[in-house]
Amino acid sequence: MVLGGRARRSRVVVAAGSAVLIGFAGSVTATAAPVSEVGVPPGFAEQELRWRPCPSDLLDHALAGDGYAAARSAVLPGLDCARIRTPLDWAHPADGREATFWISRLPGTGSATTPLLTSTGGSGAGTLLDPHSFSGGMPKLRESFDLVGFDARGTSTSSTAQSCDPAVSGDPGLLGTGPREGYDILDFSAPSVARQLDDARRWTERCLAGAATTPDGASTAPYVTYWQTVRDLDLVRQLLRADKWSYLGVSQGTALGRELARTFPGHVDRWVLDSVVDPLRSPNAVLQERYRARQQAVETEFAPWAATRGTVLGDNADRVLASITKLRADLAARPVQLPGGQAFTANDLNPILFGVGNAANEAVLSKLLTIRAAVYGDSSPASVQAVVAMVSQFQLSPLIDRELGAVLSGAPRQGWWTAYNCNAAEWSHDTNAVLAEQQWAAEQAPLTYLGMGFSAVCAQWPFPGRADSQSEWGEVPGMLLITNELDAVTPAGGARALRDLVAGSRLVTVEGKAAHLVLPQRTPFGLPGGVPGTSSCATDIAVRYLMTGELPPKDQTCKTN
């Protein structure tokens, strides 16, 4: 029983039909499946992988109404794609309910290729484009591996697609900020709290309404978890006929990678995790810590740097911070009105400062000066020019980035991100506890706090949360863990914690670097989303380990580029 649901039924029929027709034409290669493993019903373990060039799926996606996925097909040359059938619920794999998702493959150039599963993290913890991204940044990988990418369950091309209304459910950077107009996120008065909780309720309702359903009308939202996804991926390993495989994941992809290794340690070969999400903290705790880390980065990294630039913000760190704090207060009192009825508010300033440590300091400073000129200006040409610059920076550029990001991901992924987060077990459903926690976070990080977001949304989530793997770490082979020393997005403590949990692991630290992500990535055709890499030393260590399987004899420290 394959899932249907909103806009899902037509896609399943079209895709399946195309596979049959192409099979008769002789252009599909089938991979024989291995013997069924325990827990995998034969109907899934014995399916054939029907590979075909990913760009050839453009028409199928277009006919199914998936414009973003169709557009993405055009930037996947050289990749093969296959659709996987998997149990909807791995807790009951033989109950007849099934789901589908897609994988991609970039064939290796060497003679002894094995699978290297890849995940660039972020929205969905993986996309079909990932093999191109990593091979573009580290071309030697293709000498030893077939690189594999995936669109996980819950993403738009899967039959369990989760679709939220982006106007209600947060920004494409997956920060869970929501619309946040008509109140100040730092204001915890009763009227402001009521507005924020109401926004969270609408967010939850819109996401649940957009979730694909089973044929009997049940929501698929409860099944979008890493507990389910790692079992989907291990099924892929079996279908690839690989007793062991390797993994290269960054940022959010490290959370998925560690769960995959922890759940199936006997199938782990070479594991590289770059910018590690802390394994000892819940998603909520990670987010709260991130607010504080970003606030500290603003205070100790950005403000001293900005003080040396000779701007009106001030000539020492304290004056810069005072100027930014006053700017926020004045925006709260008098937002900048932009075309189309949109207002740039104090709430919109916080994501810019939250970006310190991820975006270049020069870019953050430029935005702050533009906002300041618009807030304190008059009707002079310079003030008008500042407002025009705000339109470009905060309306047109984000729109372009959203659309390009949605194409590269196959569609917006707020739905996947919401379901994944809210299905985690650690969220409180006690509104008073949530408010106390959030008020404390706002007080600790007034310039980088992003609002109640998932804390309020997941408090209203109707499905019980589920923890990830319950397995111990003792059987997991040693990994290579990589971090920038001053990363404020995934602090280095996460990599150190995982190193201590997994015996034999090695940690590579890029000293003094405050950026997020270490290893380079390149997207095809010069499209956005690439990562320059922070250390050729760390990159060389990662590539050498993946090519040879030999971990460094001890932890390593690398210089930044």
In the structure, what pLDDT confidence band is assigned to residue 380 with cuts at 50, 70 and 90?
A: low
Distance CA 406, CA 24 (A): 34
65: left (phi over 0), alpha (psi -120 to 50) or beta: left
Beta-carbon contacts of residue 497 (< 8 Å; ≥ 6 apart): 278, 279, 280
Output phi, psi for 149, to 5 deg.
Answer: -120, 175
Q: Are 221 and 90 in contact (CB under 8 A)?
A: no
Q: How many CA atoms lie within 13 A of 435 on its CB side?
A: 13
Q: Which of 122-131, 146-155, 313-322, 499-508 has the lowest mean pLDDT?
A: 122-131
- Tokens 């064939």 sit on residue: 107
Sign of the Cα pseudo-torsion (369, 375, 381, 384, in order) = positive
pLDDT at residue 469, as a whole number:
72
Q: Are 468 and 254 in contact (CB under 8 A)?
A: no
Cα dihedral 274/280/286/288 (nearest 10): -150
Q: Are 133 and 521 in contact (CB under 8 A)?
A: yes
Sign of the Cα pseudo-torsion (76, 81, 87, 90, in order) = negative
pLDDT at residue 304, as a whole number:
97
Task: Give the tens place of pLDDT for each residue, 160-170.
Answer: 999 988 778 77
Cα dihedral 433/419/285/521 (nearest 10): -160
In a 10 Å sphere around its CB, with 0-12 CB exposed, 13-18 middle and 19+ buried, how is residue 167 labelled? exposed
Q: Are 452 and 434 in contact (CB under 8 A)?
A: yes
Q: Which of 108-122, 196-210, 382-396, 541-555 has the highest mean pLDDT?
A: 541-555
559: left (phi over 0), alpha (psi -120 to 50) or beta: beta
In the structure, what pLDDT confidence band is assigned to residue 541 with cuts at 50, 70 and 90?
A: very high
pLDDT at residue 63, as a whole number:
77
The beta-strand segments (E) located in 213-301 are: 245-250, 268-274
Cα dihedral 30/35/37/38 (nearest 10): 130
Task: Give the tens place of pLDDT for each residue, 334-344.
Answer: 998 887 778 88
Distance CA 518, CA 535 (A): 7
Q: Are 185 and 28 in contact (CB under 8 A)?
A: no
pTM recorded for the entire structure? 0.87
In the structure, what pLDDT confidence band is assigned to residue 305 with cuts at 50, 70 and 90?
A: very high
The arithmetic mean of pLDDT across residues 464-488, rounded, is: 89
Q: Single out the residue of 49, 54, 4 nearest to residue 23, CA to CA.
A: 49
Run of H or E residues at 13: helix 9-25
Cα 558 from chain centroid (whole Å): 26
SS3 105: strand
The beta-strand segments (E) located in 289-407 are: 336-337, 343-344
Question: How many Cβ atoms from other residues are within 10 Å of residue 38's Cβ?
Answer: 4
